[in-house]
Amino acid sequence: MQNNPLWDRLTELASQDAIKDLASLWQKPNRHQALVFEHDNIYLDLSKNWLDEEALAALCDLASHANLQAAIEQLFNGDVVNTTDQLPATHTTLRDPDHPNYQDNIQSIFGLADRVLAGDIKTGFGQPVKQLVNIGIGGSYLGPRLVVEALTELQSESRIPIFFAASVDDSLLNQLFNSIDIEHCLFCISSKSFSTVETLMNARAIHAKLKNIPSYAPNDQQSSLMAITANQQRALEAGIPPHMILLFDESIGGRFSLWSAIGFPIVLAAGKQKFLDLLAGAHAMDLHYRQQEFAHNIPVLMALMSIWYRNFIGLSAYSCLPYDARLRSLPKWLQQLMMESAGKMHNVNGDVINYPTTPWVFGDHGQLSQHAFFQAFHQGIDALPLDFIGVLEHKSPSQDFLLFNLIAQGAALMQGKEEDHSMKGCPGNKPSTTLLLKNLSARSVGQLLAMYEHMIYTQAVIWNINCFDQPGVELGKSIARDIQQHVENNTLNEMALDPSTLALIKKVME
């Protein structure tokens, strides 16, 4: 950023060879104690990173210079922070027990869930609901799926088993229909706008399959379809009965929406108490984020680490590696949260920026990753920030094995190994962060996800971008709609397309 002495100071610190030498950094006494942070169920160890106390202090000063504390208050006070749509971002109100939105949200979700669990809601076949298919994509899919997997280890443990239909793909829909008990299944169309192309295509395809079953006879009192949306009118126009529509507010962003009615599948699968505990954990992180000084504020520290590596060290990728199968969908959720929120080229004033924002985010279950891409981590010439995530409380020797692997990978990346045969040697000096959860309770999951949400907001404030819009998402969809319309009207040659694109369309049509 131009005319920012702190930016220049951090650039200078990052250019020093010593800051990228972990062996040298570890010569300083008390390094570990200075770079370990704890809050409630979260233990964060930053000591294996290319970072010292001087750089961390400068990064905290950068956050202060960006008026982060005032921006945090704007978020929690309901001020306009989504400047593109001139809206507040109210997802935190849904987990604040003192806010009216909290009770309204809970009563709405729990009211319908109670009727489903009591057998009062009948499908279009006149049968009680025993399964639910969530039809949604993006934030209407990734968040609920992550939490359902985290809080119900086995499908059989769910009060109501949950299935997910996200991709527009006939083969996947056919597999789904072979896996469910269709007469006892409720299909939940989750779409904030109720105009998401993929979701509506899947909904129409499923509805068509239902109508081809002779015993399917929906009416005002029984329906196999429900909706979760911020656009009630479109849901009604699609034929969803009013009592089968759950609403949430336009000011809740899709990728921040799992706390809202979008979390209805979580309630059915894990139960009301776990959903309340999930909200309570997130609220505890909200209070920590709002009240704790930056030097000990876990979401702020996570954001500052990301900015340090992206803008000053110059690393363009970032990996999230949970060593617990229950968190296997965390990397995909975080990928959307970070890249859709912070993948921007304009600041909040609409000016083109001259500095990179989001890194490329990827990851998977940690142990599976060891046999997929860790070779590149250990012997590739590049380095990148890694988040190793583990769960301490467990009752299985295999979980101990996973945690020992997590710890060993961080140590191996840092220490490396010298070998007489150079091709077997690993250089070491690769940075990583270790984040441990005390347990995988609903409260811990809520804290973890809220931590990452606030990490993203902090990045956005410092980068001076809007993390609550996603204009780039629509471009490809718009072109796809135009192509389909011109193909149907046999007017493809009227489109201004490059030869490659035109040839590919014709290849599909052959």
Cα angle 140, 342, 353 (rounded to 5 degrees) comes to 150
Catalytic residue among 293, 371, 395, 488: 371
DSSP string of 153-184?
A: SSGGGSSS-EEEE-S--HHHHHHHHHHS-GGG
- Other Cβ atoms within 10 Å of 86 Cβ, number: 7
User: What is the DSSP-derived secondary structure letter of residue 226?
Assistant: E
73 carries an active-site annotation? no
Q: Answer whether 418's CB lies under 8 Å from 379's CB.
A: no
Count CA atoms within 13 Å of residue 200 on its CB side: 12
Give the closest residue to 116 by CA, choosing from 279, 271, 277: 271
Q: Residue 340 catalytic?
A: yes
Angle ∠(403,450,86) on CA atoms, nearest 5: 150
The answer to whether residues 501 and 494 touch, using CB atoms and an 8 Å cutoff, is: no
**Contact between 76 and 92 (Cβ < 8 Å):** yes
Looking at 296, 417, 477, 506, which residue is catalytic?
Answer: 477
Strands 433-437, 42-45: parallel, antiparallel or unpaired by DSSP?
antiparallel
Q: Is 392 helix (H, G, I), strand (E, B) or coil?
A: coil
Q: In whole angstroms, what is the distance from residue 212 CA to residue 48 CA?
A: 59
* Catalytic residue (choose from 149, 183, 198, 340): 340
| 417 included as an active-site residue | no
Name which of 80, 137, 149, 451 is nearest 300 in CA terms: 451
Catalytic residues: 340, 371, 477
